[in-house]
């Protein structure tokens, strides 16, 4: 597994670089502890960690909303929060869910956020707002008051605000939180689209499979500390895959696998898993069949990020934190 | 091709895509280099905005504030006060008797029947102690805290509105509200006064008479002074608004402070302090209706409002530009 350098001097390659970034809230809570993050340009970067692990706190520091207690953060090669005015017009962000003016229509909400950007030309505001609404599929609902929007629509309007300008970096803090599967799919499709345009996407999530589905790179946080970061493929490669036998005869199957010297055999309902065999897997199949095991499925499952996480931390990924 | 290489090639593609977008959006960018990634040192990340674009936020703030149902309700209440006073005076005097002859009721109320213009002064004198400042306290208190409450503050800041710019825009909008609120009272009073009572020459407090035109001019000046009287409270409310994430708490605190100071200003034992309370010289606007005008208290009032604006404006700035926005 290859670790990316903590900070790259060439900002063309590293969009976000932090060094020993630390935040202790006024209550004394150490939320982020000595974080060294490097987000390569053009990546879809998953920022993974259970609830309370410091993801939102990190994003607040990157966006200049809160001051780090110590350490530094550079976004697009410039220090934050010092260079907020120069950096943020190139960054779209969705932080801790959307926030809208309920008494304004969806369209007017975007007009308001666009007007807040001093680098946004007022003459092209309407065009930009219409394009952003179209991009997230809210053109038909543009005239409705935002308080009448469903959560999914609010989330999409928040994304539209983040996409008012062509961005170099899109920061999304748990963008699928609270959405139904259809809503999640829509958001993921949008993320892929934005990434295909060349925008670097920094995506925080407590959902492993979400990171696996859309990210090229990932960093794993736990209790404010960075556990690892790198390309998703490299992270997953750190953990070996698993042999999976699907069968109603789990007892017999487990016995045969153990006889063949396969380690860590785990019996589940209708399937038995274990470490991948050293030699030809076909020999294992033959042995199973010879022992009268009704084999319904057989194969080696690719290692997942979750396997990698377990391998790294020696514990399960506890979503509840 | 490894993941890292793939990411690298995506990075290269960024430049081509940016070029295409630049073509589509030449209206927004100036020159070929705009929006292209050429490194931070030469500053070419920046779009080249016009300094005038910064006023877009002020316009947006004004539109947002004055389109709110709450703002309109406050203004409607203020507009109703002169109507109530005018109708009450009309009914009470319909049998030919005088009102407030023995000094009861708001200032100038006795003169309304002779000259509807005095309804403007009566209405301002009636709303200045509480209704007008309460409305200002609501708008000022909610200015920052309300955005924090709704979570919209973080999105304004990452837009990036800029903290100082946002605070200035909020302050300017609050001051515009002071003016609009006062003008609403004055115009409503003028319309009601003209409909219910005769208009004509104005007898000043000093007993001299001035023409209707000059009377109107003085009434306008009085409205401006009343609006300016509210600036101290507006600054105080804006400062309170930077202290909390609850719009309701900020509004209640500001209005509570207003009431407290108004009460303290009535206590003779506090004589040494009273000249420093922001409402102390509020009713000095009547001095504009003397002939010649008595400027002393008027100027003291404006000076005091200026001091409050400077002190609490700076405090709001110091607080808001350094505070952690975690909502
Ligand atoms: N405004 C705050 N004040 C004090 N502590 C906070 C604040 N926000 C978050 N925390 C604490 O900091 C830690 C990290 O929180 P957060 O960054 O929100 O994690 P995540 O986004 O990964 O769920 C948690 O223990 C949380 O309770
Ligand atoms: Mg969070």
The model's pTM: 0.81
Identify whether residues A229 and A247 lie together within a single domain.
no
Q: Do B3 and A197 touch (CB under 8 A)?
A: no
Residue burial B240-267, b: 16+ Cβ < 10 Å; e: rest: bbbbbbbbebbbebbbebbeebbeebee
Cα angle for residues B140, A80, A211 (degrees, 5° grid): 100
The residue range of the domain holding B5 is 1-48
Range A57-69 average pLDDT:
96
Q: Which of A220, A237, A254 is the last residue of a domain?
A: A237
Identify whether residues B1 and B85 lie together within a single domain.
no
Helix (H) or strand (E) holding A14: strand A14-24
Identify whether residues B251 and B214 lie together within a single domain.
yes
pLDDT confidence of residue A273: 87
pLDDT confidence of residue A237: 67
Identify whether residues A140 and A281 lie together within a single domain.
no
Contacts 24+ apart (CB under 8 A), B91-99: none
Q: Is the pLDDT of residue B88 over 80?
A: yes
Identify whether residues A108 and A244 lie together within a single domain.
no
CA atoms of B93 and A193, how far apart (whole Å): 75
DSSP string over A95-155: -SS----TTSBHHHHHHHHHHH-TTS-GGGHHHHHHHHHHHTT-STTTTSBGGGS-HHHHH
Q: Within an 8 Å CB–CB cutoff, is residue A238 touching chain B?
A: no
Least confident span in A7-21, A44-58, A259-273: A7-21
Would A51 be classed as within a structural domain?
Answer: yes
Identify whether residues A231 and A247 lie together within a single domain.
no
- Largest Cα separation within chain A, whole Å, is 77
Would A6 be classed as within a structural domain?
Answer: no
Would A307 be classed as within a structural domain?
Answer: no
* Residues with C-beta less than 6 Å from any ligand 1 atom: A 25, 27, 29, 31, 49, 51-57; B 326
Identify whether residues B12 and B34 lie together within a single domain.
yes
Residues of chain A in contact with residue B40, where contact means CB-CB under 8 angstroms, are 11, 76-78
Q: Is the pLDDT of residue A42 over 50?
A: yes
User: What does the mean pLDDT of chain B come to?
Assistant: 83
Identify whether residues A179 and A285 lie together within a single domain.
no
How many domains in chain B? 2
Range B137-161 average pLDDT:
95
> What percent of chain A lies above the pLDDT cut of 70?
88
pLDDT confidence of residue B52: 83
Helix axes B131-150, B231-243, angle to 10 degrees: 30
Which of A56, A71, A75 lies closest to A17 in space, CA to CA? A75
**Under a CB-based contact definition with an 8 Å cutoff, are residues B210 and B218 in contact?**
yes
Would B25 be classed as within a structural domain?
Answer: yes
Range B263-280 average pLDDT:
88
Would B327 be classed as within a structural domain?
Answer: no
pLDDT confidence of residue B110: 77
Identify whether residues A24 and A169 lie together within a single domain.
yes
CA atoms lying within 13 Å on the CB side of residue B42: 8
Q: Do A99 and B151 touch (CB under 8 A)?
A: yes
How many domains in chain A? 2
Question: Sign of torsion, CA A309 A311 A313 A319?
Answer: positive
Identify whether residues A215 and A287 lie together within a single domain.
no
The CATH number of whichever domain residue A225 belongs to comes to 3.40.50.300
A246-304 residue pLDDT tens? 999 998 999 998 888 888 888 888 889 888 777 787 888 888 999 989 999 888 776 66
Identify whether residues A189 and A285 lie together within a single domain.
no
Q: Do A65 and B324 touch (CB under 8 A)?
A: yes
For A66, which of B16, B152, B325 is closest by C-beta distance?
A: B325
Range B311-320 average pLDDT:
96
Would B326 be classed as within a structural domain?
Answer: no
Query: Considering only residues 120 to 179 of chain B, which have any Cβ-Cβ distance to chain A shorter than 8 Å?
Result: 150-152, 154-162, 165-166
User: What does the mean pLDDT of chain A come to?
Assistant: 87
- Whether residue A4 is preceded by a cis peptide bond, meaning omega within 30 degrees of 0, is no
Identify whether residues B119 and B162 lie together within a single domain.
yes
CA atoms of B235 and B258, how far apart (whole Å): 12
Identify whether residues B30 and B169 lie together within a single domain.
no
- Measure Cα distances from A277 to A238, A252, A254, A300 in Å: 17, 17, 13, 9
Identify whether residues B246 and B167 lie together within a single domain.
yes
Identify whether residues B5 and B76 lie together within a single domain.
no
Identify whether residues B138 and B126 lie together within a single domain.
yes
Q: Is the pLDDT of residue B27 over 50?
A: no
pLDDT confidence of residue A315: 59
pLDDT confidence of residue A55: 95
The residue range of the domain holding A75 is 14-237
Would A128 be classed as within a structural domain?
Answer: yes
Range B222-226 average pLDDT:
94
pLDDT confidence of residue A1: 39
Would B253 be classed as within a structural domain?
Answer: yes
Identify whether residues B43 and B54 lie together within a single domain.
no
Which of A89, A111, A154 lies closest to B158 in space, CA to CA? A89
Q: Is the pLDDT of residue B98 over 70?
A: no
Would A4 be classed as within a structural domain?
Answer: no
């Amino acid at each position: 597994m290859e670790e990316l350098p903590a900070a790259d001097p060439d900002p063309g390659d590293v969009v976000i670089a932090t060094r020993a970034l630390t935040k202790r809230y006024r209550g004394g809570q150490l939320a982020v502890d000595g974080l060294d993050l490097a987000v390569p340009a053009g990546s879809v970067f998953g920022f993974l960690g259970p609830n309370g692990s410091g993801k939102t706190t990190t994003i607040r520091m990157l966006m200049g909303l809160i001051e780090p207690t110590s350490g530094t953060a550079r976004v697009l090669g410039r220090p934050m929060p010092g260079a907020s005015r120069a950096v943020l017009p190139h960054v779209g962000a969705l932080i801790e869910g959307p926030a809208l003016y309920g008494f304004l229509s969806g369209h007017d909400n975007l007009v308001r956020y666009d007007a807040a950007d001093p680098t946004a030309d007022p003459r092209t505001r309407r065009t930009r707002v219409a394009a952003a609404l179209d991009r997230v599929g809210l053109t038909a609902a543009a005239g409705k008051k935002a308080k009448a929007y469903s959560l999914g629509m609010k989330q999409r309007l928040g994304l539209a605000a983040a996409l008012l300008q062509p961005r170099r970096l899109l920061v999304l803090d748990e963008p699928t939180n609270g959405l139904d599967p259809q809503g999640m799919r829509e958001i993921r499709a949008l993320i892929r689209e934005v990434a295909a345009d060349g925008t670097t996407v920094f995506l925080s999530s407590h959902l492993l499979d979400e990171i696996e589905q859309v990210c090229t790179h990932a960093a794993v946080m736990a209790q404010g500390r960075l556990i690892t970061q790198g390309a998703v493929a490299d992270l997953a490669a750190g953990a070996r895959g698993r042999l999976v036998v699907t069968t109603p005869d789990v007892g017999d199957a487990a016995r045969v696998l153990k006889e063949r010297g396969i380690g860590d055999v785990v019996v589940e309902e209708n399937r038995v898993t274990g470490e991948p065999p050293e030699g030809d897997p076909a020999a294992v199949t033959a042995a199973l069949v010879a022992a009268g095991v009704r084999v319904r499925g057989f194969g080696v499952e690719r290692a997942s990020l979750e396997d990698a996480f377990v391998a790294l931390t020696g514990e399960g990924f506890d979503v509840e934190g | 091709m490894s993941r890292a290489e793939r990411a690298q090639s995506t990075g290269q593609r960024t430049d081509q895509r940016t070029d295409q977008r630049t073509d589509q959006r030449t209206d927004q960018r100036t020159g070929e280099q705009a929006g292209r990634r050429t490194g931070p040192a030469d500053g070419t990340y920046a779009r080249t905005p016009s300094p005038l674009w910064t006023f877009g936020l002020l316009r947006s703030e004004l539109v947002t504030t004055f389109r709110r149902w709450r703002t309109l309700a406050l203004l409607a209440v203020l507009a109703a006060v002169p109507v109530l006073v005018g109708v009450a005076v009309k009914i009470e005097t319909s049998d030919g008797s005088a009102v407030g002859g023995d000094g009861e009721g708001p200032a100038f109320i006795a003169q309304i029947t002779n000259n509807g213009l005095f309804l403007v002064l009566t209405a301002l004198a009636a709303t200045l102690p509480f209704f007008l400042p309460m409305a200002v306290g609501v708008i000022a208190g909610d200015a920052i805290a309300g955005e924090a409450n709704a979570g919209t503050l973080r999105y304004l800041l990452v837009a990036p509105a800029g903290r100082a710019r946002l605070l200035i825009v909020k302050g300017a909008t609050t001051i515009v509200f002071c003016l609009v609120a006062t003008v609403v009272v004055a115009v409503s009073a003028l319309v009601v006064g003209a409909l219910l009572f005769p208009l004509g020459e104005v007898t000043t407090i000093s007993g001299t008479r001035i023409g209707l035109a000059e009377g109107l001019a003085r009434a306008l000046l009085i409205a401006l002074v009343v609006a300016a009287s509210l600036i101290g409270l507006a600054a105080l409310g804006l400062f309170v608004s930077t202290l909390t994430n609850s719009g309701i708490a900020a509004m209640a605190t500001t209005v509570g402070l207003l009431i407290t100071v108004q009460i303290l200003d009535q206590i003779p034992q506090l004589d040494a302090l009273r000249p420093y309370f922001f409402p102390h010289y509020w009713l000095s606007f009547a001095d504009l209706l003397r002939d010649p005008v008595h400027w002393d208290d008027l100027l003291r009032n404006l000076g005091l409002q200026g001091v409050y604006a400077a002190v609490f404006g700076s405090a709001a700035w110091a607080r808001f530009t350094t505070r952690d926005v975690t909502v």
